[in-house]
Amino acid sequence: MFGLDAAGTVVSVGRSVKDFKEGDRVYVNPGLSCGSCKQCLAGLPTRCASYTFMGYFGFSPSSKEVFREYRHAGDAQYLRAPARNLITLADDLPFEVATRLGYLGTAYSALKKLELTPGKSLLILGASGTLGIGATLAAVAMGVTDVIVAARDGAVLERLRQLAAKRIRTLAPCRSRIPICTQAFVKCLRLELMPLLIRLARGLLRTYSDRSTPVHVHPASVHRLPMVHHG
């Protein structure tokens, strides 16, 4: 059952919950972790071996236990969630707006990894969607001097530019099926990453060339790698 990024009203709380009460309006972070492993205690829940998206999918066999504990998500009438996954909402924030908070968090997390500072420029592709708009607003708030936004919806881009006309620049909407700017980005990314992928493949072949049994790659171990690519 899907239902990521749910928002609603608390109808009951566990005996140990102190920060929330019945009637509170909350957003539910769909990212579930065990809460007790080394990564969780270090404040890095996305690297937890049990990390699971509520009602969606997990990254390892241990996610099955998480699904058993938290069976339902936002598409159900009621759901259970750890108190640490709840965020209190202001009374004037509609639930339908609050359900987009997850996208804003994704955009903000990506920008933090880039270590952006005043004086830097940033290109945001697909800036007319929820994620792109959130990234644009976060970039402005973080002090990025020149935010260049591109998307196919020219009207949305213009509205976005007007929010900070001196710092947000728009690229003309691309009318082709695959925008030229996207083609250039993909080509650049392919050229940058291909040597790395080739070296990785050769290393795996050397390591396991003498093995007669299948090699199992644990998806959780790959997901938890703190990889950042600058190119």
Q: How confident is the model over 112-158, as pLDDT tens digits?
A: 888 888 888 899 988 988 899 999 999 999 999 999 999 888 888 99
Cα(94)–Cα(71) distance, rounded to whole angstroms?
26
Q: Smallest Cα–Cα separation from 66: which of 82, 79, 50?
A: 50
Cα(70)–Cα(186) distance, rounded to whole angstroms?
38
Mean pLDDT on 185-197: 54
- Give me the pLDDT at residue 178, please: 52
What amino acid is encoded at 45 in this protein?
P
Percent of the chain whose predicted confidence (pLDDT) is above 70? 73
| Residue labelled with tokens 């990521």 | 4
- Beta bridge partners of residue 121, listed in sequence order: 146
Q: pTM, whole model, 2 decimals? A: 0.66
- Give me the pLDDT at residue 183, please: 53
Mean pLDDT on 74-96: 92
Cα(59)–Cα(51) distance, rounded to whole angstroms?
6
| Residue labelled with tokens 């924030």 | 93
Mean pLDDT on 216-229: 48
Task: For residue 164, name the pLDDT band (cuts at 50, 70, 90).
Answer: very high
Query: Mean pLDDT over all residues of the chain?
Result: 80
Could you give all domains of the chain from N- to C-terminal order, each with its CATH number? Answer: 6-99 (3.90.180.10), 103-170 (3.40.50.720)
SS3 label, residue 133: helix
CB 164 within 8 A of CB 136: no
Task: For residue 171, name the pLDDT band (cuts at 50, 70, 90).
Answer: confident
Cα(129)–Cα(151) distance, rounded to whole angstroms?
9
